[in-house]
Amino acid sequence: MFLIKRNNQNHHVDEVAEKEEKVKQLREALGSLSGRSLKYCTDGCLRRYLDARNWNVDKSKKMLEESLKWRATYKPEEIRWSEVAHEGETGKVSKANFHDRLGRPVLIMRPGMQNTNSPEGNIRHLVYLIENGILNLPEDQEQMSWLVDFTGFTMNTSISVKTTRDIINILQNHYPERLAVVFLYNPPRIFQAFYKAVKYFLDQKTAQKVKFAYPKSKDSVELMKSYFDIDNLPIEFGGKATATLKYDHEEFSRMMALDDIKTAKFWGFDEKPSLKTNGQFGPEVVAPNPIPLAPPAS
C-alpha cells in the first residue's frame, strides 16, 4: 500500500515537472514579447493554452499567437463600460453577488432580457464582462462559472446562431480554460433545437462543461448543490436566497466605472475619472498605441 502511494506521488511529481518544462518550451518558442503581449503571457496563461491543446507545444504556440493577433486588433482590454452600457440596461449579462463553492466568480446570463439586435454590440458587451471577471479573479482561481436563466426566453429574444457561433469561437480560441461550468437552467423545449445547431461548434472539452438543469429533476438539484451553496443561490436557480436577481443598472454602472480604472492601471493606461459619458459614469481613456507582436525567435 505504501509503495503504491509512493509511486503515485512520484508520478505526480514527474508530471508536474514535465508540464513546467512544456511551459518553458512554449515561452522559448514564442520568442521575445513586449508590452501587452508580455503582460498577457504569464505562466498561468501559457498553461491554459497548453491544456487546451493537450500540452502540444506547437499547437499551443499557434493558438496563443492567434490570440495575441486578435487582442492587438480587437483590443478587449480597451473596451469601457460607457461603450457597452446600453447593451447591459436590462441585465441580460451581469456579475453575480455570490461565488460558487470554490470561490469562483459567477456570470449571470438572461437571454429572455435581450434588448438589442446588434451582433457586434452583444459580443463586445460579453467580452467586456469576461475581461472584467478575469481582472477580479481571486489569486487562486483562473476560471468562472456561468448561470443561464431562461425566464422569458423566446426565439424572438434569442441571438442568432451566427452570433452565438462567433461568441463560442472567441471563448474557445481566446479564453481557453476560463470557463469552469455553464448551467442552462430550465431551458424551454424550443431551445433544444437551437442548442443542437450550436453544439456543433463546441469542442468536446467545452461541451462537457455545459450542464442542463431542471428544477423538478433530483439529479439537477444535486448537481447544482455540488457547485453552489444553496443558501446563497437565488430562488430563480433553485436556491434559498430570497433576494431576486433584480438588476440595478445605475449601481452596476458605478461598479464597472470603478473597475475600468483598475483595468487601466493593470494594463498601464493613462486614465482618469471623467463626468458621465452618454448618460453613464465612465472614465476617460488615453490608451497607448497597440504594441506590435514580436516576431518568433529564429
What's the pTM value of the predicted model, to 2 decimals?
Answer: 0.85
Q: Name the band, by pLDDT with cuts 50, 70 and 90, for residue 15.
A: confident
In the block, residue with C-alpha cell 505504501: 2
Is residue 204 classed exposed, middle or buried when 0-12, 13-18 and 19+ CB atoms within 10 A define those classes? exposed
- Structure confidence at residue 10 as a pLDDT band (50, 70, 90): low
251: which 3 cell numbers? 449601481
Distance CA 242, CA 232 (A): 9
* Residue 179 and residue 62 share a domain: no
CATH of the domain at 140: 3.40.525.10
The span from the CA of 40 to the CA of 261, in Å, is: 18
Q: In the chain, how many domains are there?
A: 2
pLDDT at residue 69, rounded to an integer? 97
Q: Which residues of 51-89 are buried (b: 16+ CB within 10 A; e: fewer)?
A: ebbebebeebbebbbebbeebeeeebbbbbbbbbbbbbe
d(CA 230, CA 239): 5
Query: Does residue 3 form part of some domain?
Result: no
Sorting pLDDT into bands at 50, 70 and 90, what band is 156? Answer: confident
Task: Answer yes or no: is pLDDT of 99 > 70.
Answer: yes
Give the domain CATH number at 29.
1.10.8
133 and 242 assigned to the same domain: yes
Asked whether residue 180 is assigned to any structural domain, the reply reads yes
Q: Does residue 275 lie within any of the structural domains? A: no
> pLDDT by residue (tens digit) across 229-281?
999 899 889 898 877 678 999 999 999 999 999 999 999 886 554 444 444 44
Q: Where are the beta strands (DSSP E) in the chain?
A: 93-99, 105-109, 144-149, 179-185, 210-213, 270-273, 283-286
- Looking at the fold, whether 93 and 217 belong to one and the same domain comes out as yes
Residue at 99 is within a domain: yes
Question: Residue 48: which domain range?
Answer: 9-74
Confidence of residue 45 (pLDDT cuts 50, 70, 90): very high
